[in-house]
């Protein structure tokens, strides 16, 4: 086990159960304080940038080595589920009757005395969504939510679906045809994705089987 010169004698590094990255940062700090607090020499010795080193230096406390661990990037305020679970269950039931359009579902629920809004959009921060697209959502009075930068997990279902479509669909197509044919091919993929393809995340069921089990 490495001996660190800057730590109190009674402190045991293993008690903090540090990750490999945190141990690496501890080595930086130990070398820095043991060599005259020379930041430039430390960065050169470990081949790290000054911006990285100075990000961790003010956080470091030799009495609390957990300060060398990455901080949680989880947002402080999260948008919670606003749709009543009973309404969600009814939407699943309607979808099982092949009524896949959100507008048709809305009309069905409206006739049952359930009013919901279908006009909400969430996108990432791509340039294609930041100007004309966003201006249009404002003109149409449609709430437009942005995910946090570098946070694909906030749109995890969309990102995973895009990856699946690319690997299992677009990569096996000839140069894409006219829009009518693209829509037809996408319809075929939707049928396969929802009714034929097994999904690991739902215990190798198809989405249709999963929803059927959920409602039974």
Question: Cα torsion for 164, 167, 173, 176, to the nearest 10°?
Answer: 60
- Asked which of 70-79, 111-120, 127-136 is least confident by mean pLDDT, the reply is 70-79
* Per-residue model confidence (pLDDT) at position 169: 81
Cα 55 to Cα 159: distance, rounded to the nearest angstrom: 31
* Per-residue model confidence (pLDDT) at position 41: 95
Residue of 34, 124, 94, 25 lying closest to 66 (CA atoms): 25
| Mean pLDDT, the chain, whole residue set | 85
Handedness of CA 23, 25, 29, 32 (dihedral sign): positive
- What residue spans define the domains of the chain? 13-68, 81-117, 119-150, 156-216
pLDDT in tens, 71-115: 887 777 766 667 788 888 888 888 777 666 777 888 888 899 988
Q: At what angle do helices 20-34 and 39-46 cross, to 10 degrees?
A: 140
The token pair that represents 79 in the structure block: 């948008």
Cα 213 to Cα 207: distance, rounded to the nearest angstrom: 10
Residue identified by tokens 């008690």 is 15
Long-range Cβ pairs for the range 91-98 (8 Å, 24+): 92/211, 92/214, 92/215, 93/215, 95/211, 96/208, 96/211, 96/212, 96/215
Residue 176 — very low, low, confident or very high, per pLDDT cuts 50/70/90? low
pLDDT in tens, 21-68: 999 999 999 999 999 999 999 999 999 999 999 999 999 998 889 899
Q: 143: which residues sit within 8 A by CB, 6+ positions away? A: 119, 120, 121, 137
């Amino acid at each position: 086990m490495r001996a660190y010169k800057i730590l109190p004698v009674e402190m045991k590094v293993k008690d903090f159960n540090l990750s490999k990255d945190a141990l690496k940062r501890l080595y930086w700090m130990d070398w820095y304080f043991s060599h005259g607090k020379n930041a430039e020499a430390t960065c050169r010795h470990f081949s790290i940038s000054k911006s990285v080193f100075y990000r961790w230096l003010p956080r470091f406390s030799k009495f609390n080595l957990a300060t060398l661990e990455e901080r949680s990037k989880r947002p402080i305020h999260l948008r919670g589920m606003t749709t009543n679970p009973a309404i969600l269950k009814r939407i699943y039931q309607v979808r099982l009757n092949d009524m896949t359009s959100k507008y048709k579902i809305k009309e069905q629920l409206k006739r049952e005395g359930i009013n919901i809004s279908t006009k909400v959009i969430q996108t990432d921060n791509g340039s294609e969504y930041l100007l004309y697209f966003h201006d249009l959502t404002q003109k149409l009075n449609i709430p437009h939510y942005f995910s946090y930068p570098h946070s694909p997990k906030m749109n995890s279902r969309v990102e995973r679906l895009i990856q699946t479509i690319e690997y299992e669909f677009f990569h096996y197509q000839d140069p894409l045809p006219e829009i009518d044919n693209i829509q037809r091919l996408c319809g075929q993929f939707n049928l396969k994705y929802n009714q034929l393809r097994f999904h690991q995340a739902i215990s190798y069921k198809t989405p249709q089987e999963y929803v059927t089990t959920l409602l039974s």
